[in-house]
Structure 1
Amino acid sequence: MPAAQIRDLAALCWLHAGESVILFGPVGVGKTHVAEALGHLAVRQGANVRFTKTSRVLAELASGHADRTWDKRMRELIRPDVLILDDFAMRQLSAAQADDLYELVSERQGRSLIITSNRAPSDWYPLFPNPVVAESLLDRLINTSHQVIMNGPSYRPNKRPRNPAEKSGPAVS
């Protein structure tokens, strides 16, 4: 983990400047943990923070199209000082999802996002069905963000429950 870069982000200058943070790298390296910690620091400084999975935001906005509450739901996503979108760019987007993300990022100009992703931002473009929407959204997002590459082994195997049949120490004879 890039400790110096994380310490710099912990100063929250990005929040006061209305910039965003993109944390990306392989699964299990602590992206969500760092995003939550930055959100917690922001709350402690008086910011309003909302954490959600990107897939949940897309489902929420799709439901808003169906029941005609899209504007209200969008306002709720625009309101927080920091919106944390976990697991961004996990899969191919539909045209409607891409449009919703474009609207969300556009409306949040000057308001911070924290995004976690298993893919590098340069790998996000093919996930959008319309290259013009992709270029416009990602230009707004990537060029106003601090990008942190998080590499290393997954922490999750350390949390895996042990098989009770396995001996935990040296064999005794």
Structure 2
Amino acid sequence: MAIRQGAHVRFAKTSRVLADLAGGHADRTWEKRLHELVRFDVLILDDFAMRQLNATQADDLYELVFARQGKSLIITSNRSPSDWYPLFPNPVVAESLLDRVINTSHQVIMNGPSYRPNKRPRNPIDRPNKPQVT
């Protein structure tokens, strides 16, 4: 809906956003890269909390969320928010970041079968019989 209304939206895997920010530390473009992520009206972080974060990743994520205050952030995750805390190496950063994210959010919990099996190519054996061309 936001896109149809002209909003600038960015969708990215969380791991790729963090890798991009890490590259900014290496080449001293971190501020520029952060600003690029902040400028979007809506930022969608996919596959959030898939793995444990290192201290730099956790700090970068904190800075990103803090810099986006007042802007829309959509997070998708296969884990419950209560399971996110142990993935952060510093409990103070975890509490501060997740307090901002969880306590100011609307949570949509989806239970049910995965849609992914329907996206897989079918096994040729499972296909209905087709006439063979000779």
- Structure with the larger strand share: 1
AA paired with 2:27? D
Question: TM-score, normalised to structure 1's length?
Answer: 0.71
Structure 1 SS opposite 2:125: coil
- Provide the rounded CA distance (Å) in 2 between the counterparts of 1:52 and 1:159: 20
Give 1:167 deviation, angstroms: 5.9
Residue identity in the other structure for 1:129: P
**AA of the residue aligned to 1:138:** L
Q: Does 1:116 align with 2:107?
A: no
1:93 pairs with one of 42, 53, 76: 53
1:63-102 mapped onto 2 (5 Å cutoff): 63-102=23-62
The SS at the match of 1:144 is coil
Structure 2 counterpart of 1:59, one-letter code: A
Decide which of 77, 93, 112 is 1:133's aligned counterpart: 93
Q: What's 1:158 paired with? A: 118
Higher RCO structure (Cα 8 Å, ≥6 apart): 1
Match of 1:8 in 2: none
* SS of corresponding position for 2:108: strand
SS in 1 for 2:47: strand
TM-score of the pair, normalised by structure 2: 0.91
RMSD: 1.2
How big is each residue's C-alpha offset from its partner over 1:16-52, in whole Å with a ceiling of 9 and x where there is no partner?
xxxxxxxxxxxxxxxxxxxxxxxxx102112111111
Aligned pair count reads: 129
User: Aligned partners of 1:167 and 1:70: how far apart in 2?
Assistant: 51
Aligned letter for 2:112? G
What letter corresponds to residue 42 of structure 2 in structure 1?
A: V
User: Following superposition, which runs of at least 4 residues in structure 1 exceed 4 angstroms of deviation?
Assistant: none
- In structure 2, relative to structure 1, the CA distance for the partners of 1:105 and 1:167 (3 Å cut) is closer
Show structure 1 runs of 5+ residues with no match.
1-40
Measured in 2, the distance between the counterparts of 1:167 and 1:79 equals 47
Shift of 1:154: 1.2
SS of 1:88's equivalent in the other structure is coil
Secondary structure in structure 1 of the residue aligned to 2:6: coil
